[in-house]
Amino acid sequence: MSENARKRIRLQLMWDRLIAVVEEQAQAILRTAFGSVVREAGDLSTGIYDLEGRMLAQAVTGTPGHVNTMAKAVMHFLDRFPLKTMKPGDVFVTNDPWMGTGHLFDFVVVSPAFYHGQTTALFASTCHVIDVGGRGFSAEARSIYEEGVRIPHMKLREEKRLNEVILSILEANSRNPVEMKGDLLSLITCNDTAQQRLDEMMGEFNLDSLEELGQYILEQSYAAMKKAINKVPPGDYAAEMKLDGYERELLLRARMSVSAEEILIDYSGSS
């Protein structure tokens, strides 16, 4: 077997191991969350990201609805808290729907991973907490301010010290404060669990960083996506459908343009 073949096998093994790390991260939420939406419906997601905020692996367990939005959310955290300011034990949080995963019930928690004192990756997790106050899911809400409490990008834990002020504010605004706090602590716990498993993996494979593995994952993912796009005949496609609305029907209209390397979807004309 050639050296190149052995290298690719080793990289693939590490990639599979990384997926196992984030799968255990997701299972940790399922086993520690207080809210039934998480424990029974699996309304959660977990993943690991490189130092630029690009996703390297995601858990099989969870909802795909969070995956892409959580990836974008990690970028927003890096804009607010640059890597050089992060320290071991730090945990960051937000439920801002424009900076997170869609609505106030979804909290995103991001933790930097360190190995031998160096930042190696970022772990992110999301789950739907039981209650954030306000009207919640009611279609009666006319603005974001009526839906519940909104937390901007903040430190939920600083060098292992919990921010009790944030927790107190959230508990005071929730109809289910015990479950609310329990769900947030489960997000912290799952990220800590993933950090422990990543440490074990890096020690086992004698790694100092995830740079080479991350580049391999990104290149292979790009090639696989390009191959899938090439199976779709180039051209323009259009479709529309009507959905039940609150006071009137809603129209969802999409136009898709397919080329050799990309697919563009335009939703112009939708309600």
Q: What's the pTM value of the predicted model, to 2 decimals?
A: 0.92
Report pLDDT for 266: 98
Positive or negative, the Cα torsion across 149, 155, 156, 162? negative
CB-count exposure of residue 89 (10 Å: 0-12, 13-18, 19+): middle
Q: What are the angstrom distances between the C-alpha of 233 and each of 259, 261, 262?
A: 8, 12, 12
**CA 42 from centre of chain:** 14
Provide the pLDDT for residue 122.
98
Question: Could you tell me the residue ranges of all domains in the chain?
Answer: 3-221, 232-266
* Residues linked to residue 44 through DSSP beta bridges, in sequence order: 127
- DSSP structural state of residue 268: T
pLDDT of residue 71: 86
The Cα–Cα gap between 73 and 81 comes to: 12
Tokens of 105: 């019930």
- pLDDT tens-digit map of 26-72: 999 999 999 999 989 999 999 999 999 999 999 999 988 887 888 88
Q: Which residues of the chain have pLDDT under 70?
A: none
Pairing state of beta strands 263-266 and 118-128? unpaired
Question: Which pLDDT does position 30 carry in this prediction?
Answer: 94
